[in-house]
Structure 1
Amino acid sequence: MRAMNKAISIMIFGLFVNAGTPVETLVPIQNIFSPEGFDSNDNVEVIVEGQLPNLCHKTPMKKVTIKGNTIDIKVTALSYHESNPFCPEMVVPFLETVSLGVLDKGNYKINVNGKTVFAKDGVLTVNESTSDAVDESVYARVDYIEKSHGSRTVKLKGYNPSDCFVLEKVEVFHNNKDVYSILPKMKQISDFCPMKMIPFEYDVEVPKTLNKSRVLIHVRAMEGKSINTIFDNK
């Protein structure tokens, strides 16, 4: 009897160990968004939309391999065994920015989770830069994109690091498929630039050019970063 109880205890302990030890697993991918307008001196990005099947999956991770004009991206998550008591059934959507670094001009093929049931393909175009400077434009330090239901106006919110920079213009263009790129370009109006956090809100009208019901809003931000959100384009 003692031997049986011991065996049962070992089995239960093993189940708890398995339930509490995560493993890395591939996750479903819905879309690959490739913004237009990257040059060969930019930090190029693509944005991957997917979903975690349940709360057993945590922390999406990306691994990038570039060979010639082929970009392979592996998107995984830490997955706990379904016997874990903290894993309720709930689909968790995610939007991950994948940094590809500085790329040569040309057309690139993108494979995400290639040769698996979760595989998605995409394309990316990098233009030749007109300057040797890395990202010669200075963009606003956007932290957040505020959307309002039923409105095509979005608010770009954030803080600029000094009052010597003011908004010069906002450029909006698209990739002829599913991404609107918004570039809030700043200009320096003074040589004296004391560090002073200046809050801002910039209203931008989203065009009606693209036909997709869901599109990506891709906003370039200061220091080579970007802010991205899904926009209801109906």
Structure 2
Amino acid sequence: MKKTILAIFTFAFGAGLVQAGVPTQKVIPVTHVFVPSGFDSNDNSEIIITGFLPNLCHKTPKANAMVTGNKIDILLTSLYYDESNPFCPEMVVPFTETLELGVLDKGKYEVTVNGKSIYKKEAKLKVNESTSAAIDDFSYAYVEHIDKESARDGHVILKGYNPSDCFELDSIEYISNGKDTYSILPKMKQVRAHCPMKLVPFEYEWKVPSDIDRNEVLLHVRTLEGRSKNTLFYR
């Protein structure tokens, strides 16, 4: 009898461990959807989503998008482990997820995130007509990092590498979406015809504008090959 009870207990305990150790997909809270301005129909359009994992039972946030006509439906989920898992302490973990939407046709898009949940968020994305067949109409600096700690108050430092010493910074322009995001465009110029392959580190300081009345803004920095670096900036 004791052996039978022990066997039942062992089976139940083992089943509990299996349940605790096998993750499922679960919709997670979204706090804001940032939509940069300035995308053309030859760009890799992106949106940036912030949210939080309610506790450490949630792992690895992931976004999936489906584009149907002018509607973009996004599902943001995480791997969720049962709360009986011993590695699930109560700790809120914020995250910032950059979602690449790919090359989109010219037009205005309605964006819905987690549409069938209590965490539903909506936004609008505008894609302009391109003036070139190539991705991006300009050569942008290869920015690897946006330094907010070392810069002067109200500034950031764009850090990265140029592919050759024949490239120099031409200008740093920006496009504001008027609500919450600055698209930063560090444009380069070629100053010599001969361009030996030589990585040259750079640091470009840039003052964050103050025309958006919001404590938290997204800095969306365009880089080479249609990519970007994104960070939240707090005033």
CA distance in 2, matches of 1:19, 1:87: 10
Q: 1:48: which partner in 2?
A: 49
Q: 2:201: which partner in 1?
A: 199
Task: Map 1:68-87 to 2 at 5 A.
Answer: 68-87=69-88
Task: Map 1:62-141 to 2 at 5 A.
Answer: 62-141=63-142
RMSD between aligned residues? 1.3
SS at match of 1:223: helix
- 1:80-132 CA distance string (max 9 Å, x none): 11111112111111111111111111111000111211111111111111222
Structure 2: give runs of 5+ residues left out of the alignment.
none
Task: Map 1:171-190 to 2 at 5 A.
Answer: 171-190=173-192
Letter in 1 for 2:218: L
Question: 1:191 deviation in Å?
Answer: 2.9
Q: Does structure 1 retain, via aligned residues, the 8 Å contact 2:131–2:137?
A: no
CA distance in 1, matches of 2:56, 2:80: 9
CA distance in 2, matches of 1:48, 1:144: 19
CA distance in 2, matches of 1:134, 1:231: 27
Question: 1:58 deviation in Å?
Answer: 1.2
Letter in 2 for 1:9: T
- 1:160-217 CA distance string (max 9 Å, x none): 2221211111002210100011100111222332221111110000011001121111
CA distance in 1, matches of 2:39, 2:137: 12
Q: 1:26: which partner in 2?
A: 27
CA distance in 2, matches of 1:150, 1:55: 35
Letter in 2 for 1:172: Y
SS at match of 2:225: helix
- 1:26-61 CA distance string (max 9 Å, x none): 111011100011111111111111111111111111
Letter in 2 for 1:187: K
SS at match of 1:194: coil
TM norm structure 2: 0.95
2:225 maps to which of 218, 223, 233: 223
CA distance in 2, matches of 1:83, 1:198: 51
1:150/1:57 CA distance change after superposition, 3 Å = farther
1:208 maps to which of 201, 207, 210: 210
TM norm structure 1: 0.96
CA distance in 1, matches of 2:152, 2:74: 35
Identity %: 52
Question: 1:150 deviation in Å?
Answer: 7.9
SS at match of 2:198: coil
